[in-house]
């Protein structure tokens, strides 16, 4: 990983911790037992434009903020972001357009978060309907924010990624 990629990924990792800590409550949508913090996936999604290693790092680190603010179940869901980030960044690295890569990882994101809560005793209905469907909707909202932000960063000359 190049120094510039490491620095950018580290900044996004810091944001992925800060968003739940600073806004986990203010920007949290709760439909019990499901919660979603708006914009919490944006650092992860942007890291996909940098490198697979950076995206995996940002995804793994995102669990820390959720563990501190919302507990182990939400942190376990957030830990799945490492897989989502790695796959998405790999797709981008292979030439898949950013928007397409984000849509491609949506089912991985939703299903992995739905499955991980089963280890905490959630029913299959709550895991599938509430968490997986909720995650898919949350993914789409944060995807729109990330695409807009990536476009803005590119227009003002702050983007160094290829896509």
In a domain, 126, yes or no: yes
13-43 pLDDT tens trace: 999 999 999 987 788 888 877 889 999 999 9
Q: Which domain holds residue 120?
A: 3-155
| CATH number assigned to the domain comprising residue 26 | 1.10.1760.20
In a domain, 120, yes or no: yes
Question: What is the pLDDT of the chain when averaged over all its residues?
Answer: 93
- Written as six digits, the tokens of 150 are 């990536």
Q: What is the pLDDT of residue 162?
A: 61
Domain count, the chain: 1
82-133 pLDDT tens trace: 999 999 999 999 999 999 999 999 999 999 999 999 999 999 998 988 999 9
In a domain, 161, yes or no: no
In a domain, 163, yes or no: no
Cα–Cα distances in angstroms (integers) from residue 82 to residues 45, 79, 123, 143, 156, in the given order: 11, 6, 24, 16, 29
In a domain, 70, yes or no: yes
In a domain, 129, yes or no: yes
Identify the CA nearest to 91 among candidates 103, 102, 101, 78: 101
């Amino acid at each position: 990983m190049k120094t510039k990629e490491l620095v950018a990924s580290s900044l996004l990792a810091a944001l992925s911790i800060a968003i739940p800590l600073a806004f986990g409550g203010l920007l949290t949508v709760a439909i019990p037992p499901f919660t979603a913090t708006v914009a919490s996936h944006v650092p992860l999604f942007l890291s996909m434009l940098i490198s697979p290693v950076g995206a995996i790092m940002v995804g793994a680190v995102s669990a820390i903020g959720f563990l501190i603010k919302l507990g182990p179940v939400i942190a376990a869901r957030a830990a799945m972001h490492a897989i989502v980030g790695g796959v998405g960044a790999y797709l981008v690295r292979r030439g898949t357009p950013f928007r397409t890569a984000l849509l491609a990882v949506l089912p991985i994101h939703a299903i992995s978060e739905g499955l991980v809560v089963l280890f905490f005793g959630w029913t299959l209905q709550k895991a599938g309907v509430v968490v997986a469907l909720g995650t898919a909707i949350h993914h789409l909202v944060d995807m729109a924010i990330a695409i807009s932000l990536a476009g803005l960063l590119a227009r003002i000359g702050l983007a160094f990624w290829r896509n």
